[in-house]
Protein backbone atom coordinates (compact mmCIF):
# COMPACT_ATOMS: atom_id res chain seq x y z
CA UNK A 1 0.00 0.00 0.00
CA UNK A 2 1.18 3.51 -0.78
CA UNK A 3 1.62 5.48 2.45
CA UNK A 4 0.38 8.80 1.04
CA UNK A 5 -2.74 7.21 -0.46
CA UNK A 6 -3.44 5.30 2.75
CA UNK A 7 -3.03 8.45 4.85
CA UNK A 8 -5.47 10.25 2.55
CA UNK A 9 -8.08 7.47 2.89
CA UNK A 10 -7.83 7.42 6.68
CA UNK A 11 -7.94 11.22 6.95
CA UNK A 12 -11.00 11.35 4.66
CA UNK A 13 -12.70 8.68 6.79
CA UNK A 14 -12.06 10.67 9.99
CA UNK A 15 -13.37 13.85 8.36
CA UNK A 16 -16.53 12.05 7.17
CA UNK A 17 -17.21 10.86 10.74
CA UNK A 18 -16.78 14.44 12.00
CA UNK A 19 -19.27 15.69 9.38
CA UNK A 20 -21.74 12.92 10.20
CA UNK A 21 -21.57 11.75 6.58
CA UNK A 22 -22.59 8.16 7.23
CA UNK A 23 -22.87 7.36 3.52
CA UNK A 24 -19.17 8.10 3.03
CA UNK A 25 -18.29 6.37 6.30
CA UNK A 26 -20.23 3.26 5.25
CA UNK A 27 -18.44 3.16 1.90
CA UNK A 28 -15.16 2.72 3.80
CA UNK A 29 -16.26 -0.66 5.21
CA UNK A 30 -16.31 -4.01 3.44
CA UNK A 31 -19.79 -5.16 2.51
CA UNK A 32 -19.88 -7.78 5.28
CA UNK A 33 -19.52 -5.05 7.93
CA UNK A 34 -21.98 -2.54 6.50
CA UNK A 35 -24.94 -4.17 8.28
CA UNK A 36 -23.15 -3.45 11.59
CA UNK A 37 -22.78 0.29 10.91
CA UNK A 38 -25.69 1.34 13.15
CA UNK A 39 -24.14 -0.47 16.14
CA UNK A 40 -20.70 0.92 15.33
CA UNK A 41 -22.08 4.47 15.08
CA UNK A 42 -23.93 4.09 18.40
CA UNK A 43 -20.65 3.26 20.17
CA UNK A 44 -19.13 6.61 19.14
CA UNK A 45 -19.61 9.80 21.14
CA UNK A 46 -22.78 11.58 20.04
CA UNK A 47 -22.15 13.79 18.25
CA UNK A 48 -18.52 13.36 17.25
CA UNK A 49 -16.90 16.80 17.46
CA UNK A 50 -13.40 15.72 16.47
CA UNK A 51 -11.83 12.66 14.84
CA UNK A 52 -8.05 12.59 15.19
CA UNK A 53 -5.80 10.07 13.45
CA UNK A 54 -3.48 9.09 16.30
CA UNK A 55 -1.34 6.65 14.32
CA UNK A 56 -1.13 4.85 11.01
CA UNK A 57 1.00 1.81 10.27
CA UNK A 58 1.10 1.06 6.56
CA UNK A 59 1.86 -2.52 5.57
CA UNK A 60 2.07 -4.38 2.29
CA UNK A 61 -1.23 -6.24 2.65
CA UNK A 62 -2.85 -4.49 5.63
CA UNK A 63 -2.65 -1.11 7.31
CA UNK A 64 -3.69 -0.27 10.85
CA UNK A 65 -5.13 3.11 11.82
CA UNK A 66 -5.87 4.34 15.33
CA UNK A 67 -8.44 7.15 15.43
CA UNK A 68 -9.67 9.01 18.52
CA UNK A 69 -13.29 10.19 18.31
CA UNK A 70 -14.16 12.97 20.76
CA UNK A 71 -17.59 14.28 21.67
CA UNK A 72 -18.73 16.81 24.24
CA UNK A 73 -18.59 14.44 27.22
CA UNK A 74 -16.76 11.35 26.04
CA UNK A 75 -14.21 9.92 23.69
CA UNK A 76 -13.50 6.57 22.07
CA UNK A 77 -10.34 5.37 20.38
CA UNK A 78 -10.75 2.77 17.64
CA UNK A 79 -8.17 0.60 15.90
CA UNK A 80 -9.21 -0.17 12.32
CA UNK A 81 -7.64 -2.61 9.89
CA UNK A 82 -7.60 -1.64 6.21
CA UNK A 83 -6.93 -3.83 3.18
CA UNK A 84 -6.89 -3.10 -0.53
CA UNK A 85 -10.18 -4.34 -1.92
CA UNK A 86 -10.51 -3.60 -5.59
CA UNK A 87 -10.07 0.07 -6.28
CA UNK A 88 -9.19 1.31 -2.77
CA UNK A 89 -8.48 0.35 0.84
CA UNK A 90 -11.47 -0.64 2.97
CA UNK A 91 -11.95 -1.36 6.66
CA UNK A 92 -12.07 -5.12 7.20
CA UNK A 93 -12.38 -4.98 11.01
CA UNK A 94 -12.37 -2.46 13.82
CA UNK A 95 -12.09 -2.66 17.59
CA UNK A 96 -12.38 -0.16 20.43
CA UNK A 97 -9.30 0.38 22.55
CA UNK A 98 -9.54 0.74 26.31
pLDDT in tens, 16-44: 999 999 999 999 999 999 999 899 889 99
The answer to whether residue 65 scores a pLDDT higher than 90 is yes
Sheet holding 50-57, edge to edge: 50-57, 63-70, 75-85, 88-97
> Is the alpha carbon torsion for 51, 57, 60, 61 positive or negative?
negative
**Helix or strand run (H / E) with residue 64:** strand 63-70
The answer to whether residue 98 scores a pLDDT higher than 80 is no
Cα gap 35→10, rounded to integer Å: 21
pTM (predicted TM-score): 0.94
Task: Delineate the domains of the chain, giving CATH numbers in brackets.
Answer: 3-97 (3.10.450.50)
Amino acid sequence: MDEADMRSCVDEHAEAVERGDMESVGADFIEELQAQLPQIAESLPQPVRKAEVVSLEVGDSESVAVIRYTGEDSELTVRSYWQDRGSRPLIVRAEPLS
